[in-house]
Amino acid sequence: MIGDIHQRVTHSSVASLAFFSHSAYVASFEPRDVSHALSDSNWVNSIHELENFERNHVWDLLEPPPNCRPIGTKWDEDGMVVRNKVRLVAQGFCQKDGIDYEETFAPQIDVKSAFLNGFIEEEVYVRQTTGFESARFPDRVYKLRKALYGLKQAPRAWYARLKSFLLKSGFVMGSVDKTLFLLSRGCDTLIVQIYVDDIIFGGSSHVLVSSFAEQMSREFEMSPMDELQFFLGLQIKQGPEGTFVHQAKYTRDILKKFDMGDSKPMTTPMSTNTALNTNEDGEAVDQKEFRGMIGSLLYLTATRPDIQFAVCLCARYQASPRTSHRQAVKRIFRYLKFTPELGLWYSSGSSLSPSGFSDADHAGCRIDRKSIFGTSQLLGTSLIFWSSRKQGGVAFSTTEAEYIAAASCCSQLLWMKATLSDFGLRFGKIPLLVDSTSAISVAKNPVLHFRTKHIDVRFHFLRDHYEKGDIDLVHVVSTNQLADIFTKLLEFGAFVRLRGELGVTGWRCVDNALIKGEIESQWTGLIALRWTGGPPMDRR
């Protein structure tokens, strides 16, 4: 039964998602340790917000039981002092599997104040906060009733609490995506997607949406943030004609971060003459900086499929980056300088018919001769999923490379089909467009099966799902293969054409559509909910 508290003093001008409500206490210095912080009344006033833990029954002060080994505490701080804030963080790395926690899985990633609202089943003890020990019982320890930041079971505890509340409220959880919840009331539907303490939702009835917002605010003290405009780093513009998702601000930020703001713009992310290899004789560059550039670009691919292939190509050389690799990455930044405001356009007039494209470049990797394959999955004209990656093994032929690529695309289409069924959408055969007639023949014609014994059995589920009628393999000419942009470097004309067909455009191009008229939409705009600081009502 091991527990530990890690106190973190943070300061930011942005409202925190902390468990307790905040007041602004501005200090004149950065504390170097706990004693230094306690010498300033502003930091002390901020720290006293910890009393909310007792008021809201987060823990109980008890005599330490036998075998209890609570660990010490420390302070941490960074950044510019604008507001003094305190957060208690459990050092979960000290927990032992099977003793301090049983399961840790939760379909969330970000870890913030929402975790303080999940009840835990295991016995976890934490030492009293340094400088704020009980005068009467200085040797006692806290037994946690609710999760703290850093506990390994905290994500699961929070998810269980929120899921229980939504299910009791009449929602149905998605059969595939466990963070998706749906509520039906007659002909109206409300859709809720959760990501830790960030929740987005929309529905076909303004009344249903307003009712849900009020219900969540009462239970968890969350407040609506009007229509969704910013979510998980993505900027979102909504209008009657569609929705535009982009990362223009993030793009400008990373250009500035890596001193590329004044660089010469380029019209494509990588030249067709680029031929990267390990270049072991080349001059080594700062690995930390190179990896930072790659990581920043990978996050940008969430709305920029046009740089997916180039970024993934450069990412293969992170172990030992050379000057040539850094120059290739800088070329991508120069392209972003030319196209900072590009993003994905989702038209409200698009159909909801799913389709997929798959393509492969046989032996495309110059180092190990493995094939590069790309896939894209769409709903009507709206791009939903895309990928660019290197195949795990060396393909003996173009047919094999294309067949494996199609199998990967088929897997994603089946996931889409299952997810869409939660929305009440049913589909028969989903078209999968491949530009290799031989790969299609292998899947369709049993006579050719004897030629595919060398292909891993796991990829033959493509054939099975074709025979079941889940997908329909359709030939597409290479010039219309949308996934081609994810497999190789293209000339400017072909690159721009495919980029546009994937729905990548600039917000200025769609701005008129977004503000055109006051057209009443069938669905209300997406709304965002965010934690405001107060605890939920305790209805355990």
How do residues 72-85 score in pLDDT, each as one tens digit? 444 444 433 333 44
**Edge-to-edge strands, sheet with 230-231:** 230-231, 234-239, 242-246, 342-347, 504-506
**Record: fold of 350-489:** Nucleotidyltransferase; domain 5 (3.30.420)
More reliable by pLDDT, 178 or 10: 178
Average pLDDT over residues 457-485: 91
Check whether 489 has a pLDDT greater than 80. yes
Determine which of 103-107, 294-298, 506-510, 513-517 has the lowest per-residue pLDDT on average: 103-107
Give CA–CA dist 269/212, Å, rounded: 44
515 confidence band (pLDDT: 50, 70, 90): very low
Check whether 203 has a pLDDT greater than 70. yes
How do residues 408-419 score in pLDDT, each as one tens digit? 999 999 999 999
How do residues 324-373 score in pLDDT, each as one tens digit? 999 999 999 999 999 999 999 999 899 999 999 999 999 999 889 999 99
Q: What is the CB-side half-sphere exposure of residue 267 using CA atoms within 13 A?
A: 9
42 confidence band (pLDDT: 50, 70, 90): low
How do residues 118-128 score in pLDDT, each as one tens digit? 666 667 777 77
What pLDDT score was predicted for residue 199?
A: 81
Question: What number of other Cβ atoms are within 10 A of residue 230's Cβ?
Answer: 11
> Two tokens at 54?
């007792």
224 confidence band (pLDDT: 50, 70, 90): low
**Edge-to-edge strands, sheet with 222-227:** 172-173, 180-185, 188-195, 198-203, 527-531, 222-227
More reliable by pLDDT, 470 or 511: 470
More reliable by pLDDT, 216 or 101: 216
Residues in the chain: 540
95 confidence band (pLDDT: 50, 70, 90): very low
What pLDDT score was predicted for residue 31?
A: 54
What pLDDT score was predicted for residue 367?
A: 87
More reliable by pLDDT, 446 or 318: 318
115 confidence band (pLDDT: 50, 70, 90): low
For 256, residues 6+ apart whose C-beta sits below 8 A from its C-beta are none
Tokens 């998980």 correspond to 232
What are the sequence ranges of the domains in the chain? 5-160, 244-340, 350-489
